[in-house]
Amino acid sequence: EQAVRIETGAYGIDAVHSQVGFEVKHLGISTFRGSFGGFAGTINVGENGIEAIDGTIEIASIKVPEEQLTGHLLSPDFFDAEANPEGENYKVTGDLTLRGTTNPVVLDVEVEGAGIGMDGSSVLSLKADGIVNRNDYGISWGAALDSGAAVVAEKVRIVLTVEAVKAAA
């Protein structure tokens, strides 16, 4: 398989064609999914490929199917969105900040493609995922069923699909 040629420069994340999501086990048996609607970021590409990814996620933009659950996730039990309004920056080197706590994180990143968009701009597509332990960020709310299964698992999968457009020179 031939490597994708990526034009060097700074690329801005296209929020319309990108998604920031998460997955967490619920009741020990099913996978619950949610996403965030407000995010921004840049991807810097040098001669040797992707050098850095910087991004910010607006915690209050969380999207889940039920309003009461949204309120609980924004509360101090989980994201504490009032005190910590953004997911802060993360870099290819692996720093993730939530609720004012920064920890290293490893995301498997794959370049899905690169090319020219409809307006002639260079476009880059990435997908990334990795697992973090929510307790490492002070998100330790928990309850257990009589069976001992956790209502909400400690491990959370971060799932990103990103399309970015190169900034004009």
**Percent residues over pLDDT 70 in the chain:** 93
Instruction: Kindly tell me if the per-residue pLDDT of 92 is higher than 80.
Output: no
Q: How confident is the model at residue 10 (pLDDT cuts 50, 70, 90)?
A: very high
Instruction: Kindly tell me if the per-residue pLDDT of 88 is higher than 60.
Output: no
Residue 30 pLDDT:
84
CA distance linking residue 8 with residue 58, whole number of Å:
28
CA distance linking residue 36 with residue 21, whole number of Å:
6
Tokens encoding 135: 């307790």
CA dihedral over 62, 162, 97, 105, signed as positive or negative: positive
In this structure, the number of other CB atoms found within 10 A of the CB of residue 86 comes to 18
CA distance linking residue 39 with residue 96, whole number of Å:
14
Tell me the backbone φ, ψ of residue 165, rounded to 5 degrees.
-115, 130
Residue 108 pLDDT:
83
Instruction: Kindly tell me if the per-residue pLDDT of 90 is higher than 60.
Output: no
pLDDT tens sequence across 12-36 = 999 999 999 999 988 888 899 999 9
Tell me the backbone φ, ψ of residue 135, rounded to 5 degrees.
-65, -30
